[in-house]
Structures are given as C-alpha cells and as structure tokens.
Structure 1
Amino acid sequence: MPHRERERDFSTRADLVPARRVARSSRSLLLTAGFEDVSVDVHTGIFTGATMLSPLAGLVEAAHSRGAVSREHADRWIAEQRARAEDDRLFLALPILVTTGTNPH
C-alpha cells in the first residue's frame, strides 16, 4: 500500500475516535483546573506478530461500517496486515500519555 494511502487510512480511522485530541490537552486541562506539579509521561507499548491483528482489524471494520472506507479496501488492508503478521513483520507502537498533578485543595 502506498505511503499516502496508509496516511489517509490512518487519518480516516483516527477521525472515528471520540475526543481523540484530549490526551494532547490533558496537561493544559489540569493546569486550568488548578492542579499543581502537572507532568506528562509517555508509555509506549510495542506489539509485533499477530498480537494486535484483531484490534487493528476492528479499527478498519469500524471505519467501513461508518462509510469511511469501502469493503474492498477494508478487506485488502486486513489481508495485508494478516500477511505481515504471518511473516512476523507486523509492528505497532502504541503511545499512552499519562498526565498527573497535585490537587492543592
């Protein structure tokens, strides 16, 4: 799959996530709410092989069910990911932001 097509697919699926930008705003939200000593840490999960194949397929199925991608496109993408998993070439880095702060009250 060409690079631009992958980028478009990712953006299409990301649009299906409710409040997907809230993690980027979490520090500011805590500061605005009066928290002190606010910090943000990132924890990145690395997944290879077939471990995340089912959740990835679920993302593209959700995109298809909302009309964001065609059935043919979803099937082709899932087949590509399955082939990567079978060849131990599937790689997913999943960053999780953890925001903490102290409530002064």
Structure 2
Amino acid sequence: MSNTEVIALLDEIERHPDAVRVRERTHELLDGAERIVDVGCGGGRAVHELGARAIGVDHDPATIAVARARYPAARFQVADAHALPFPDASLDGYRAERVIHTLDAPRALAEARRVLRPGGRLVLAGHDWDLFAVDSGLPEVTRRVVHARADQIADPRAARKAHHLLREAGFTDVATEILSTVITGPEGLPVVLNLAKDQEGEEIAAWCDDQRRRAAEGRLFLAVPVFVTSGQVIG
C-alpha cells in the first residue's frame, strides 16, 4: 500500500464517530499536559486538535510533509519513536494511537519514560489485530483472513499487552479501558479489504466479493475493540 493510500485509509478511519471518541478520550487523559509529543502522528489530525502544546513526530518524511501541508500552524518533525529528539524529562505528555504494534514496544516505552518529566502521562490507543469481527457468509475464511493479516504485523497483540508493558517500563497508575469501533456503512469497505492484504486464492477472492456485495447492500459489519492504556511517571 502506497503512502497516499495509507493516508487515505487513515483519514477514513479518523473521521468515523467512534474514532473521534477514542481520540477525544486520549486528549482527556492528557488534560493539563503543557508539552505533548504525538508519536506516529500520521496526517496530523490529533496534533492539530491538541493545539500549540503538541508536536507530532513520524518516521516517514512523506507523511510529515502531508501533515505540514494540512496544518501549517502545527509543529511536526521526522523522528524515530525509539530515539526521540527531546531532552530527558522535557515533556508532560506522550500520545501514540495505532502505532505500538509497529514498534519495539519495550524500547519505545523506555524512550517515552526518558522524555517524560516526573508526573508526566503516557496514553496509548490501539487495536488488537487478532480481534477484528467481520460479518461474512464465509466465517471460516474470515478467521483465516484476520489471523493471516495479524501475522503480517510486527507485534499484532501489542495493544492487549500494553498494560503490563507499561508497568514493566516503570510507569505507575496504569489503567486500561476498552472503547469499540463499529462500522456498518460502505466507508468500512477499504478497512475490511485491507485485512486481505497480500492474500491470494479463490476463497480470498470470494470473501472480498462477499464484502463488496455487503457494502453495496448496506449489510457490511465491522467491529474492533480499541484498548486505551495510560500511565504516569513518578520521580
């Protein structure tokens, strides 16, 4: 999937009311933080919403270019989540949404703890790639599609592990809550079809055709639990 396609897919997801609710919850959990880094900021929507107190970082220069073009008043920087360009104890908040599954989580969390000051808060939001619920006339194929897609991800179950990973990284006051994303409109079709990425065969083609028909007939159904995990640095 090209960078343009990835950004378009993220835009579709981020506009959904359930995704807005997740994003707003992460902002609430960072209430009072005066300097926040949004790691894996993508197209920059959350940085724009957080305002002048936020800076967005992403490892991909093309993605940062898109974010800067969309939100010229906001701050963005190309950076690696495992080596952030901030001094020790210099930030009040750390936010990462739909990112932790792409990272070396222990290294990234150690880096987050380094840049957060005592009292600083970290908030992660993400889904578990094994837990996509898709209605289909081919349920056995759905199981294979979902798990095969999970196997393509660096750490597909990072979101369910985040609670204990934060504790192991030295964060306190760790809490996890679950918010759901339910998509029943045709806008969910690109998300569903993305689950079949790089999978081939007659059954996969039939499964994708089934999803296209469901979307056209108003019968598409996708549900995804989103784990929101937060923690605090104690000096």
TM-score, normalised with respect to structure 1: 0.82
Could you give the per-residue CA deviations for residues 15-69 of structure 1, whole angstroms, max 9, x where no partner exists?
A: 1122011111111111111111100011111101211101222221x232xxxx3
Gaps in structure 1 of 5+ consecutive residues: none
Kept in 2: contact 1:45–1:95 (CA 8 A): yes
Gaps in structure 2 of 5+ consecutive residues: 1-136
Kept in 2: contact 1:38–1:100 (CA 8 A): yes
For the residue of structure 2 that corresponds to 1:63, the secondary structure is coil
Aligned position for 2:195: 59
- Large movers: runs of 4+ above 4 Å: none
* Aligned residue among 206, 211, 215 for 1:76: 206
| Cα distance change, pair 45–27 in 1 and its aligned pair in 2 (3 A) | same
Aligned 1:5-84 pairs, distance under 5 A: 5-60=141-196, 62-64=197-199, 69-70=200-201, 72-84=202-214
For the residue of structure 2 that corresponds to 1:51, the secondary structure is helix
Aligned position for 1:104: 234
| Cα distance change, pair 55–3 in 1 and its aligned pair in 2 (3 A) | closer
Amino acid across the alignment from 1:30: L
Aligned position for 2:45: none
* 1:98 CA drift (Å): 1.0
* 1:87 CA drift (Å): 1.6
Kept in 2: contact 1:49–1:86 (CA 8 A): no
- 1 or 2 for the larger relative contact order (CA 8 Å, sep ≥6)? 1
Instruction: Give distance in 2, aligned partners of 1:15 and 1:54.
Output: 19
Instruction: Give distance in 1, aligned partners of 2:138 and 2:188.
Output: 22
* 1:101 CA drift (Å): 0.8
Q: Percent identity?
A: 33
Are residue 92 (structure 1) and residue 222 (structure 2) matched? Answer: yes
Instruction: Give distance in 1, aligned partners of 2:142 and 2:157.
Output: 20
| Cα distance change, pair 19–9 in 1 and its aligned pair in 2 (3 A) | same
Could you give the per-residue CA deviations for residues 66-102 of structure 1, whole angstroms, max 9, x where no partner exists?
A: xxx32x3332111100111122111111221111011
Amino acid across the alignment from 1:23: A
Kept in 2: contact 1:49–1:84 (CA 8 A): no
